[in-house]
Amino acid sequence: MLALAACQNQPAADTIVLNATIWTGNPEQPLVSAMAISDGKIVAAGDEKEVRKQAGKATEIINLGGKFVTPGFIDNHTHFLSGGHNLASVQLRDAKTPAEFIRRIKAYAATLPKGEWITGGDWDHEAWGGELPRKEWIDSISPDNPVFVSRLDGHMALANSLTLKLAGIDAETPSPEGGTIVKDPATGQPTGILKDEAMNPVYKVMPDPGESVFDEMFERAQAHALSLGVTQVHDVGSYGGWPDLATYQRAKKEGRMKMKIYAFVPLSTWPRLADYITENGRGDDQLHWGGLKGFVDGSLGSTTAWFYQPYDDEPGTSGFPVTDTTLLRMQILQADSAGLHLAIHAIGDRANDWLLDVFAEADETNPPNPQRRFRIEHAQHLSRAAIGRFASQNVIPSMQPYHAIDDGRWAEKRIGPERIKTTYAFRSLLDAGARLTFGSDWTVAPLSPLEGIYAAVTRRTLDGANPEGWVPEQKITVEEALRCYTVNNAYAGFQEEKLGMLKPGMYADFVVLSVNLLTIPPEDIAKVTVLQTFVEGREVFRSNE
């Protein structure tokens, strides 16, 4: 069987890919052995004998030697420029002890001139037993450099004394609404840990990186993404959204953009985005904009995700909204009424229920909106009643599966055995008919889609404590996970007619892998190598292997 683009007297293909096992994402023709490409798009897909008929004298023939091919991976949720920054910053993610945490900051500080900020980091206090770091750990090793290193979830950070002074935070400073300045109960002094909205005073005194530094961040991030088979990211912003978008526009204008990006800006700026779209449209297939990112709550790791019941290990709190809910509801309804696309962060069960209610209100009271594909970013800890509402309300659960094998090491300690039954509920959401999408939340988690697929399929936690999977009833199949990283993400970005499948008319964005994901043991998926990445038929990455 051969699928062909519908046209008469079709010219010879630019490129033909042969001798491959191609998972197309197309349910009508899921596996083919060859495809033909012209002008960056698939023009034929099927068996080699038929596809070869598209060849001409100048056609490039690529023989893949039986390798496995998938559509280019789409990541539904990144902080792309932060990821690019952190690739060149202090590396704290795998620091297993306080001593190692301190040593790495000390070594990095020694390489910097006086006055330069130390940011990034992505530390995880759960790696050394759960004790939060304190400014006293790092003050003596960073007297001349402001330090503001984030926990890997981005919802709290450690500041040294110099940074606290620059931000005007001291014992008399109250915690803001939607945030916490952690203070020593004995002295009343800030410990250096700032959560959610309490981080804003520091952001306000940080220097602007400048265009050249933003450009360097983008180049590092793009190279990293392409090496992992990621051909498009949905970027929810790192530096306020608008500077991020300007960086991508600069890269596109200068011919440096090799991948595709769907850029989001903050929900609070929705009037500016509405005006910008009126004047400039929504971009094109390579660089698209029109989405808004907002927040209901914080994160599980920072005990700021909003639940109905208190945390088991911190019974004095059940988390909280990080945005005033009256204001957030108004912004959501107004932005939807203005024809904009909404992607809102919600992690705790109460946060997700609240957001589903507001989305239902928008459906009922606002005029029709062609951009109404509501997304809940993360959708991690759901009430049982919420699971069916994603499908019935056509709300997209925009999830990041690596978080499950990371948080699964300690989540039960935090929220107990009953609430974890509907945590990262991939299987339940799919069975209920939801259009589940996947990504990484990079730089919070690794960008690799293969690690994400491994996480969704095995649910083996990083500590090795759950060889059969953490909450194993929520595991899904490899093919389901592939769809979440391709077909479903294209829908979540309004590009389902152009991306996510390898069939005629679609862009020839594809990845060549070292082995067939559909036939290997699931526990080996994370070890699979990306050999080549193609965007619109052009090779943009080749492995040295």
Domain 1-71+500-545 matching CATH 2.30.40.10: the answer reads yes
Sheet holding 15-18, edge to edge: 2-4, 41-46, 34-38, 15-18, 60-63
Query: Tens digits of per-residue pLDDT, 306-348?
Result: 999 999 999 999 999 999 999 999 999 999 999 999 999 999 9
For residue 9, what pLDDT is reported? 57
Cα(389)–Cα(352) distance, integer angstroms: 10
Query: Tens digits of per-residue pLDDT, 368-408?
Result: 999 999 999 999 999 999 999 999 999 999 999 999 999 99
Amino acid at the residue 505:
G
Residues 14-36, mean pLDDT to the nearest whole number: 98
Cα(231)–Cα(428) distance, integer angstroms: 28
The boundaries of every CATH 3.20.20.140 domain in the chain are: 296-470
535, HSE (Cβ side, Cα atoms, 13 Å):
21
SS3 523: helix
Query: Tens digits of per-residue pLDDT, 259-312?
Result: 999 999 999 999 999 999 999 999 999 999 999 999 999 999 999 999 999 999
pTM more than 0.85: yes
Cα(2)–Cα(47) distance, integer angstroms: 7
Question: 539 forms bridges with which residues in the sheet?
Answer: 534
Closest CA to 228 of 483, 515, 441, 532: 532
20, HSE (Cβ side, Cα atoms, 13 Å):
29
Helices (H), 121-269: 135-138, 161-167, 200-205, 211-227, 242-253
Radius of gyration of the chain (CA): 24
For residue 235, what pLDDT is reported? 99
For residue 545, what pLDDT is reported? 75
Query: Tens digits of per-residue pLDDT, 453-504?
Result: 999 999 999 999 999 999 999 999 999 999 999 999 999 999 999 999 999 9
The answer to whether the beta carbons of residues 83 and 442 sit under 8 Å apart is: yes
Top CATH class, 296-470:
alpha beta
For residue 19, what pLDDT is reported? 98
For residue 154, what pLDDT is reported? 87
For residue 7, what pLDDT is reported? 42
Q: Is 280 exposed, middle or buried (0-12, 13-18, 19+ CB in 10 A)?
A: exposed
Query: Tens digits of per-residue pLDDT, 29-57?
Result: 999 999 999 999 999 999 999 999 999 99
What does the buried/exposed string (b/e) look like for 391-412 if buried means 16 or more CB atoms within 10 Å of the residue's CB?
Answer: bebebbbbbbbbbbbbbbbbbb
Closest CA to 236 of 395, 74, 80, 443: 80
Sheet holding 190-196, edge to edge: 90-91, 118-123, 147-151, 156-159, 190-196, 179-183
The answer to whether the beta carbons of residues 475 and 457 sit under 8 Å apart is: yes
SS3 101: helix
The answer to whether the beta carbons of residues 50 and 33 sit under 8 Å apart is: no
Please give the distance of CA 512 from its chain centroid, rounded to a whole number: 22
Cα(117)–Cα(129) distance, integer angstroms: 28
What does the buried/exposed string (b/e) look like for 15-54 if buried means 16 or more CB atoms within 10 Å of the residue's CB?
Answer: bbbbebbbbbbbeebeebbbbbbbebbbbbbbebebbbeb
Q: Which of 61-70, 149-158, 247-256, 522-531 has the lowest mean pLDDT?
A: 149-158
Query: Tens digits of per-residue pLDDT, 164-174?
Result: 999 999 999 99
Cα(234)–Cα(253) distance, integer angstroms: 19
For residue 6, what pLDDT is reported? 41
What does the buried/exposed string (b/e) look like for 197-217 if buried means 16 or more CB atoms within 10 Å of the residue's CB?
Answer: bbbebbeeeeeebeeeebbbb
For residue 8, what pLDDT is reported? 42
Residues 121-126, mean pLDDT to the nearest whole number: 93
Question: 180 forms bridges with which residues in the sheet?
Answer: 195
Q: Report residue 425 as tokens.
A: 């509920």
DSSP string, 404-455: HHHHTTTHHHHHHHHHGGGBS-HHHHHHTT---EE---TTSS---HHHHHHH
Residue 130, pLDDT > 50, answer yes
Count of other CB atoms within 10 angstroms of residue 309: 14
CA distances to 65, 256, 417 from 251, rounded to whole Å, are 35, 5, 48
Average pLDDT, the chain: 96
pLDDT band at 11 (very low <50, low <70, confident <90, very high): confident
Q: Report residue 517 as tokens.
A: 């994901």
For residue 1, what pLDDT is reported? 56
The boundaries of every CATH 3.10.310.70 domain in the chain are: 90-205
CATH dotted code for 90-205:
3.10.310.70
Which helix (H) or strand (E) element contains residue 541?
strand 538-542
The boundaries of every CATH 2.30.40.10 domain in the chain are: 1-71+500-545
Residues 348-367, mean pLDDT to the nearest whole number: 98
Long-range contacts formed by 219-222: CB under 8 A, 24+ apart: 219/84, 219/256, 220/84, 220/87, 220/88, 221/80, 221/81, 221/83, 221/84, 221/87, 222/84, 222/251, 222/256, 222/257, 222/258, 222/259
Sheet holding 31-32, edge to edge: 31-32, 21-23, 68-71, 510-513, 530-535, 538-542
97, HSE (Cβ side, Cα atoms, 13 Å):
3
